[in-house]
Amino acid sequence: MSQQNVQTIRQLFAAFNRLDATTAADLWTADGEWRPAYVGGGLLEGTVFRGRKGIIEFVEVQPDTWENVVAEPVDVRDLGAQVLVEVHLRAVGRASGTPVERVTWNVFEFRDGKIASGKVYTSQEEAFKAVGLAG
C-alpha cells in the first residue's frame, strides 16, 4: 500500500503544477487537512485548508500570486502510513516578476488510500522529527 501512497503524492504534485484543483482534491479524504507554510508568497503558519473545498481553494488561489509556480518533489520517502517529501518550489511573482526559490519538506499522512493530512515544514530537522527520523 505505501508504494501506492508514493504514487498518490506524485499525482498530487502533478495536479498542483497543472493547477488542476479537482484532481488534487480527489486524492484527499473528505476531511483532509492541508497546512502549508506559505500562502500567497508569504510565510503564513497556522493556516489550514480543510476538506475538498479547502484543497480546491488552495490550488485555485495560486495564480493570484504567481505568474507560474512549480513544486518539484525531489525526494519522496515511503514511511508506511506517512510520506516525507523534499520539495523544491520555483515561482515567479505575478505583480513583481520576482523569481522565488524555496526548499520545504512536506509530511503527508494517509488513511484508506487517500491523503488525510499534509503539513509543510521550512526546516528539514523539524520535518524529520515529525516523522521520527534523525536529522
Show the 3-state SS of 95-113: CCCCEEEEEEEEEEEEECC
**Sequence spans of domains, the chain:** 2-130
Task: Read off the pLDDT of residues 54-63 as tens digits, 9 standing for 90 and up.
Answer: 999 999 988 9
Exposed, middle or buried by CB within 10 Å (0-12, 13-18, 19+), for 44?
exposed
Determine the 3-state secondary structure of 73 from DSSP.
Answer: strand
pLDDT at 37: 86
Dist. CA 90–CA 16, nearest whole Å:
13
Q: How many CB atoms lie within 10 A of CB 67?
A: 14
Task: Read off the pLDDT of residues 63-79 as tens digits, 9 standing for 90 and up.
Answer: 988 899 999 999 999 99
Exposed, middle or buried by CB within 10 Å (0-12, 13-18, 19+), for 88?
middle
- Whole-model pTM: value is 0.92
Dist. CA 24–CA 124, nearest whole Å:
25
Fold of 2-130: Nuclear Transport Factor 2; Chain: A, (3.10.450)
Determine the 3-state secondary structure of 2 from DSSP.
Answer: helix
pLDDT band, very low/low/confident/very high, at 135 (cuts 50, 70, 90): low
Write phi, then psi, for 59 (nearest 5 degrees).
-70, -45
Contact assessment for residue 63 and residue 32, using Cβ atoms and an 8 Å cutoff = no
